Chain A
Amino acid sequence: MESVIEQIINGLRTGSIYALIALGYTMVYGIAKMINFAHGDIIMVGAYSLYVFISLLHIPVILSILLSILVCALLGITMEKVAYKPLRNAPPLAVLITAIGMSFLLQSLALLIFKANPIPFKSIIKLAPVKIGSITIAGISIITFLVTTLIMIFLTLFIRYTKAGRAMRAVSEDRQAAELMGIDVNRTISMVFAIGSALGAVAGILYVCQYQTLQPTLGALPGIKAFVAAVFGGIGSVPGAMLGGILLGVIESISKAYISSELADAIVFSVLVLVLLLKPSGLLGKNRIEKV
C-alpha cells in the first residue's frame, strides 16, 4: 500500500511538471491555433539558463531563477515574431513544419554550445524530506506541488479577472472580432507566448532539480508528453491542461512501477491515441464544428 501511495506521489510530481508545460501548449493553441512544437525545448532552455546563471556566472539562486524565466519569456516572444507571425494565415502544415524546425534549431544550438555530453547539475532545492506515517515525501516533491498549485491559482485568476486575461480569452474565441473590438491582437499573442514560455522555464527548473543532469534533448520527451497531457485534458482548456498533466503523470508512474518501465512511454502515447479516438475534444475541451 505504501509503495502505491509513493508511486502516486511520484506521479503527481512529474504530473505537475507536465501540467506546467501543458499549460503553455494549450494557451498557445487556444490563441494561435497552432501546436508550438518547440515548446518542449523552451524547458531545455530554461534548465540551461539556470545552469549558466548559477554554476557559471555564480548569480544568487533567486535572481538566477527570475533571469531564467525572463530568458524563456523573451525567447517565446522572439520565436513567435520571427517564425510564426509571418505564417499566421498559412496552411497548418506549414506552421507545424516551422515549429518542428524551431524545435530542432533550439536543440542544435544547445548542442553546439554545450555539447552532447550530459552536464551534472546539483539541485537548488534543499528542503528536507517529510515523513507522514511510513510514507516519505521528498523535498523536491513538496516544492513542485507548492509552486505548481500557486501558479495555477494565479493563472486562473489572471485569465478570469484581469483586462489582459479577458483580451486573451476574446482573441482565442474569435481573433477578428476581438480585433474589431479594439484589442491589440499581436500584443495579446506575444503575451501568451511569453506566459507560456515563462511557465515552461519554471517547469524546466523543476525538471532539472529532479533529474540533476542537463542534455540538449532534455525537453523533447517531456514536451511531447505534456502535449499528450494537453490533448488529454482538452486542448485550449486551461483547467484541462492541469488535469491532463497530473493524470498523465500518475498513469506514467504507475505503469513504470507495475507494468513495465520499457513500455511506460508506449502506454503514455497510447493514452493519446485512445483519447483522440474516443473523445477527440479531450476531458474538458469543447467540440467545434467546421463551417462549410
Chain B
Amino acid sequence: MALLDVKDLGISFGGLKAVEHVNLSIEKGELFGLIGPNGAGKTTIFNLLTGVYQPTCGTILLNGNKLEGKSPAQICRSGVARTFQNIRLFKKMTVLENVMVAFHNQVTYSLLDGMLHTKRYRAAEEEVRKQAAKILEVFHLSEEKDVLAVNLPYGKQRKLEIARALATNPQLLLLDEPAAGMNPNETKELMDTIQLVRKQYGITILLIEHDMKLVSGICEKLLVLNFGTELASGIPEEVLKNPEVVTAYLGE
C-alpha cells in the first residue's frame, strides 16, 4: 500500500477550478517531486493535503486513513508536516522555541503540571529541549538557537522551516519550494541536507519546485501540473521527454 494515495482530487473557488482530477501515489521512503509552471496549482495541492482547504471532490488516504475533512492540526498529528512557500515562522520566538512548538503533540503534561513545575513537566521539557537541539544540529542552526527567528538570514529561515516541520515527527514531509530565493551553492547544500534527513529519519518527501533541473536531479518520481491538471507523471527521464511537458515549460 502506498503511503499517500490521492484520487481524483479537485477544488474550485467560486466556479474556478483551481485543481482538477489529480492522482498521486507516493510509496514509503520516496522523494517525490511536484513541478509545474507558476499558478499551476502546486501550493493548492499542499493546502488540500494539509487541510487548509477542503477538497470539492476526491479522496486523500494516508496509510489507508482518510485525510480529507480533517483540520490542519489533526492532519499534522496523523503524520503530515509541511513548510510554506512564503516563510511562516514564529518570528518573535527564538529558533529553539520555533522547533519546540512543533513538539506540541509529542509531550502530554497537563496545564497543572506546567503551573506547578512537577517532575513530569521538568522531565518532558528537558527531553523536548534535547530533541529540538538535535534537529537544529542537523540543519547547522545550533549556534543560532537563542536568536529570534525574524533575525535569521533568509537561507537559514528556510532551513528552520524544514527543521520545524521535521520536529512534528512526520511520516510525510511536504516542502514548498524550499530552495526559493537561494543561490546555487545554498541550494546544493540544502538538497544535500534534505537527502541526509530523509535517510536519517526514514521519511517520505513530497517536494514542490519549479526549477525542473533541480528536481529531476534528486527526485525519484515526478508529477507535472499545468492549469490545475495532471500533465504527466513517472520517473524524471521519461517525464522530461514528454512533448507536452516541454511545451508547457518552453512554450510552442
Which residues of chain A have a CB within 8 Å of any CB of chain B? Answer: 289, 292
Contacts and interface: CB of A to CB of B under 8 A. Distances in A.
The majority secondary structure among interface residues of chain A is loop
B13 A292 contact: no
Contacts of B13: 289
Interface in B62-115: 84
5 contacts: A289-B13, A292-B43, A292-B47, A292-B52, A292-B84
Nearest to A287: B14
Nearest to B85: A292
A292 B72 CA distance: 13
Interface residues of B, number: 5
A292 B13 CA distance: 14
Contacts of A289: 13
A42 to B, nearest CB: 35
A93 B84 CA distance: 24
A72 B123 CA distance: 62
Contacts of B43: 292
A289 B14 CA distance: 11
A35 to B, nearest CB: 24
B53 to A, nearest CB: 8
Contacts of B84: 292
A206 to B, nearest CB: 39
Interface in B22-63: 43, 47, 52
Contacts of A292: 43, 47, 52, 84
A61 B13 CA distance: 54
Nearest to B88: A292
Contacts of B47: 292
B203 to A, nearest CB: 22
B92 to A, nearest CB: 11
Nearest to B176: A292
A286 to B, nearest CB: 10
Q: Which 5 A-B pairs have the closest CB atoms?
A: A292-B52, A292-B47, A289-B13, A292-B84, A292-B43
A93 to B, nearest CB: 13
A285 B60 CA distance: 33
A291 to B, nearest CB: 9
B17 to A, nearest CB: 15
B135 to A, nearest CB: 24
B12 to A, nearest CB: 12
